[in-house]
Structure 1
Amino acid sequence: MAAGAPRIFVSHLAGVPAFDPNGDQVGRVRDLVVMLRVGRRPPRLLGLVVELTTRRRIFLPMTRVTGVESGQVITTGVMNVRRFEQRPTERLVFGELLDRRVTLVETGEEVTVLDLSVQQLPARRDWEVDRVFVRRGKKAGAFRRARDERRVALPWKGGGGRRAGETLTVDWSAVTGFSLEEHGQGAESLLATFEQLRPADLANVLHHLSAKRRAEVAAALDDDRLADVLEELPEDDQIEILGKLKEERAADVLEAMDPDDAADLLSELPEQDKERLLSLMQPADAADMRRLMSYEEHTAGGLMTTEPIVLRPDATVADALARVRNPDLSPALAAQVYVCRPPDETPTGKYLGTVHFQRLLRDPPYTLVSSLVDDDLQTLAPDAALPVIAGFFATYDMVAAPVVDEAGALLGAVTVDDVLDHMLPDDWRETEFHLDEGEEAASHGS
């Protein structure tokens, strides 16, 4: 970039795409890596943490960045695709510096960090953190609100008074406290930075945070959002996060998870902890968990969810479509409904057949679903093994399959995502990303 490049607030870099010189996207920016320096010298910006399309995180040195503009980062196209590993002297801006409580040197007042700005040094390729955007008073709220307030509260625009809650932008040297270990850092700004992420991507963010920061972020998420994220995390991270929640909240989060995922997580806990959490759950939810845990892990019973869409024979197409529209349903579960005699909660009365979503779209709203059922489709027994389940999906091109017991009752449904989760290697989320042979790799920190 040319000398005198404009100041960039790091919040504007969160999640922006990174492109090579040909205009092909290589990934998205997930964090910035800085190195704190002695005294009050501004930190040096070493580079960016870029998440590739495979969800692998790599380090992109600022020497390989040729442009930061219009919501995008342009690179030289030469990068090291080894997995990013943070060094002891490095700090992650989003993961460790935002939401931190620091002190204004002039007044001794404690403030909360909402954002940082970076700027390229004149006539050099080095970048530094030069300004800190802070809020006076108690810990700050959402990052999004902070960005809006910054537009009117910059000191050189007349903002930044001394009332509690007001915001101001100061030089890096005007604050102290970044080098200290932070206790109770909070997570509002970090969460607002990534609020648009899908649960799987937010899970990837949490996986790469320190254990302490991961616990803070988990504590700040609402129950439903945390439940969605937990379902996407590796088992070790799930157990760690659940163990740091208060027991009542841990039970609430488990209730908000898909029953099969919650049962898998519970089954990994010590027996005493498992029973204590089950006792805190709603009786119906606890009963579902116990039923799922009674099956072997890699069977249809162990993989199924107990909450598919179940309709009685006298339900209409309009009733079915109303159920399918539920935004809380996964696409796989919303792809079809199961027609059963009462009771219409699993385990149901006699299973009559399946009605596919496409068929629902082709018939009048008043049509009874009992006249549309596909009763030729094979069902899975609860003890069906994983290879049998995978063969079913491959044979019938399905995204969900009914699990029916010997008495003909619907027990639940297995979805294709759960089958893939159990068939892929344990570390599938860490898939290697390979560049074409002969491409040069830049070293970490170069």
Structure 2
Amino acid sequence: MADTYLNFVSSGVGKTLAKKLGLPQPAHLRRHKPGAPLVPGPVLVLGPDDGPSDADDVAAALLGWDLDVRRHPVSGVRWGAVVLVLSEVTHPEQHSEHVLGLATTLRSLATGARVVTISRQATSSDAPALAAARHGVDGLVRSIAKELRGGATANGIVLAGDARAGAEGTLAPLRFFLSGKSAYVDGQFLTVNDADVVAPADLDKPLAGRVAVVTGAARGIGAAIAKTLARDGARLVLVDVPQAGEHLAKVANETRGTALQLDITAEDAGQRILEHAQARHGRLDIVVHNAGITRDKLLANMSEDKWDSVIAVNIAAQLRINDYLLASDAFRDAPRIVSLASTSGIAGNRGQTNYAASKAGVIGMVRSTAPLLAGVSGTANAIAPGFIATEMTARMPLATREVAARLNALKQAGRPVDVAEAVAFLASPDAGAVTGQVLRVCGQNLVGA
């Protein structure tokens, strides 16, 4: 959906008026376009350069992607990205050398540039100074993200355990964060482990040979997820309620998938999904739990049926389906589970106690499901969208909608494709080092947590 306000303040009289009145001035975001460069200019890798280092490993990997990689800031360059490698910092006093190097580049970032940090996870067993140095990166990145302009974003990768900066398990999320696929992901972190990950043979078709089921696929975010997974090479089983059958069939035709009309709250939903996938496609590798409903009321006015229906669809159905799949020998080849949570499940939202409880439940579910899949190289993760422009949000009152759309660092609503791109990344084989995570696709929402 077109953002009329963004278009108005991007040029001419609208741009002048916005400056004079101090109104938000969002930028057109750099989203993925087939054939476009990974980044819109040279990449600066900052970090230790006085001997073998993690920064050297990252720079070498980026050179292998045929990027223009530099190790030192120079004037007159419009940087497409800056990768700040802080994984070897052991004391907060060591931040300044590299962070202030980043500071000199911020006014020279290209439109839609990316800033990405690579750091190590702080643990309770760390010495206090080491933990302070590592956890300090959290505040650093989130603050940088709020200072950037021109549609630029800042995100971070956190190395856990024995994870290495130059390993594919780290490079895959780095590639995602640098790309246009992460346009609405801002001020966020992904923690990676030391799983043995191999890059797909064809980066344009990372899901080739994989079969994915998407629930709630008839419209909106679900339809966008289906189209994005199909673009990336997946074969699809698309699920929605019978009432949405016509729209579901249309999406299935567009993506060359198969449609399954099914109420996911049915006791045998997991069995029917797996049987359909095996009968039509011979296997099942990816489950995207997108289906969800809202029944908003203040808690004082909440009825039992409104509460129970939201819990039934948004979390209980996912648990039941997962239980069936986890017990099956047919869901064992590095499977992926990606569930749609919400920023409401993180920060809460007035009038959404039932919805927020269900979406917080999704977050708890994926964190506990992840270890259950580790033995078969599987992962479970969640996406927490913020304010996404859909048919549903278009029906909101204009003033309410505009305020909600601007309450983030990027000062605009996301699009369904922004959620879909994050889902596609977490569903891919090279996201195997990311599990039990919650990735917010919210433009760095400024309200709540």
TM-score band w.r.t. shorter chain: under 0.3
Relative contact order, CA 8 A, sep 6+: which one is greater?
2
Q: Which has the larger radius of gyration?
A: 1
TM-score normalised according to structure 1 size = 0.25
Higher helix share: 2
Q: Which protein is richer in strand relative to its size? A: 1
Q: TM-score, length-normalised on structure 2? A: 0.25
